[in-house]
Amino acid sequence: MSGYDIRQKIESSTANFWSESFGQIYPALKKLSNEGLVTMRELQPEGQRLRKEYRITPAGKVRLREWLAEPCGLQVRREELLLKLFFGDKAPKGAMRAAVEQRLAVAKRELESYGPIERELAAKMLTHPAAPYWQLTLEFGKAQAAATRAWCEQTLRELDKLEKAKTRDKGGRRDAR
């Protein structure tokens, strides 16, 4: 594939858990090429624009297998929403509610988007040997999004309770702007 192709493939498949920009892809391909892990072929078929097609080499396949066997580095994923919520008592009145609602909307949209993807996948299940693995990544997304949705809904209820308690507390003294 070309760098451009790769970008598109990424966007249409792994975008939910991995994404790369051109600024990463093109230099990476050059580097892989220098290391002999991929080969490049310039194509310009009959009045077409220039294309550089890359193809993995046997050495590249070996390296891929090695990488797949390496343990995953577990990074702390930063959750801006949680950081804000952590300081929730310092926030203006409806701010936390709005933030959680936004997140809930994202989770819902995500869950909806998985429907069509799942149907596409089901069709590929018999032809593509990797399809069962794609299914597993999809299941992860579904599980995570569902958990997020449930948490958001519960959290909205809790925020309402907190708000009420604050108002009740001293009949509206010192409101949060």
Residues of the shown chain interacting with a second copy in the complex, contacts defined by CB under 8 A: 13-19, 61, 64-65, 67-69, 71-92, 95-96, 98-99, 102-103, 106, 129-130, 132-134, 136-137, 139-140, 143-144, 146-148, 150-151, 154-155, 158-159, 162, 177
How do strand 51-56 and strand 38-43 relate by DSSP bridges? antiparallel
Identify whether the C-beta of residue 121 lies closer than 8 Å to the C-beta of residue 170: no
- Beta carbon of residue 73, minimum distance to DNA (angstroms, whole number): 9
Q: Which does 155 bind (CB under 5 to 8 A by kind): a second copy, DNA, none?
A: a second copy
Measured from the CB atom, the residue of 18 and 175 that comes closer to DNA is: 18
Q: For tokens 């958001």, name the residue.
A: 152
Whole-number minimum distance, CB 99 to DNA, in Å? 18
Nearer to DNA, 27 or 115 (CB): 27
52 binds, among a second copy, DNA, none (CB under 5 to 8 A by kind): DNA
CB of 4 to a second copy, least distance (A): 20
The C-alpha atoms of residue 119 and residue 79 are separated, in whole angstroms, by 31
Write out the H or E segment, with its range, that includes residue 117: helix 95-124
Kindly report the number of other CB atoms within 10 A of residue 174's CB atom: 7
Closest approach of Cβ 121 to DNA, in Å? 22
8 SS3 class: helix
Query: Under 8 Å CB-to-CB from 85, ≥6 apart: which residues?
Result: 96, 99, 100, 155
> Which of 29, 159 has the CB closer to a second copy?
159
